[in-house]
């Protein structure tokens, strides 16, 4: 049995998925290190892009333009994104109290919700997959799905 060669559309989707994963990692590193987002983004592009592995499989190279757009817009819209995230969370768990990886994930997804034309359901599915990569055994992917659904309905109610 031979495996089918990935077509151009599948490759593009894999690159976009990889870019989302890298964006979450870069936003996490920016927050944890206190370095500027530009410095971290350049480090990722120079030294890490295309080197990630998820469940033992190497990720695609990534879509550099999408990566930069997500990271830049997450910073530009951070206050709005954090407010949307807070409204999607339980009252006793504001965004400042959640896991920093999830905070980075919500900021990346929020950036796409407020600053791109990507359909919200695609964004939700993609970031639930990112959550599965970071938390393969936990309940976090379901939590991410619920919060992102709330954020998407707020940011783009016309899509629902």
State pLDDT tens for residues 74-105: 999 999 999 999 999 977 777 888 999 999 99
Q: What's the rounded mean pLDDT across residues 19-30?
A: 95
Predicted local distance difference test score (pLDDT) of residue 149: 97
Compute, in degrees rounded to 10, the torsion defined by CA atoms 67, 70, 76, 79.
Answer: -140
Contact 120, 156 (CB under 8 A): yes
What are the two backbone dihedrals, phi and then psi, of residue 93, each rounded to the nearest 5 degrees? -125, 70
- Whether the per-residue pLDDT at 55 is higher than 70: the answer is no
The mean pLDDT of 115-136, rounded to a whole number, is 96
What's the pLDDT score for residue 10?
Answer: 85
pTM exceeds 0.85 for this model: yes
Answer yes or no: CATH 1.10.357.10 is held by domain 9-155: no
Domain boundaries, the chain: 9-155
Please tell me the predicted confidence (pLDDT) of residue 21.
Answer: 93
At residue 3, does pLDDT exceed 70? no
pLDDT for res 1: 46
pLDDT value at 54 more than 60? no
């Amino acid at each position: 049995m031979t495996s089918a060669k990935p077509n151009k559309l599948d490759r593009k989707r894999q690159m976009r998925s990889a870019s989302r994963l890298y964006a979450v990692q870069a936003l996490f590193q920016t927050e944890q290190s206190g370095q500027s987002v530009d410095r971290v983004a350049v480090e990722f592009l120079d030294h890490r892009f295309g080197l990630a592995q998820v469940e033992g499989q190497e990720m695609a190279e990534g879509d550099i333009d999408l990566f930069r757009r997500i990271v830049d817009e997450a910073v530009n819209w951070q206050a709005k994104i954090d407010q949307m995230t807070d409204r999607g969370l339980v009252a006793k768990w504001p965004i400042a109290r959640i896991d920093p990886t999830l905070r980075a994930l919500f900021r990346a997804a929020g950036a796409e919700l407020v600053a791109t034309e990507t359909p919200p359901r695609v964004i939700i599915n993609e970031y639930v997959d990112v959550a599965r990569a970071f938390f393969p055994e936990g309940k976090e992917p379901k939590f991410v799905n619920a919060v992102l659904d709330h954020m998407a309905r707020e940011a783009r109610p016309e899509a629902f």
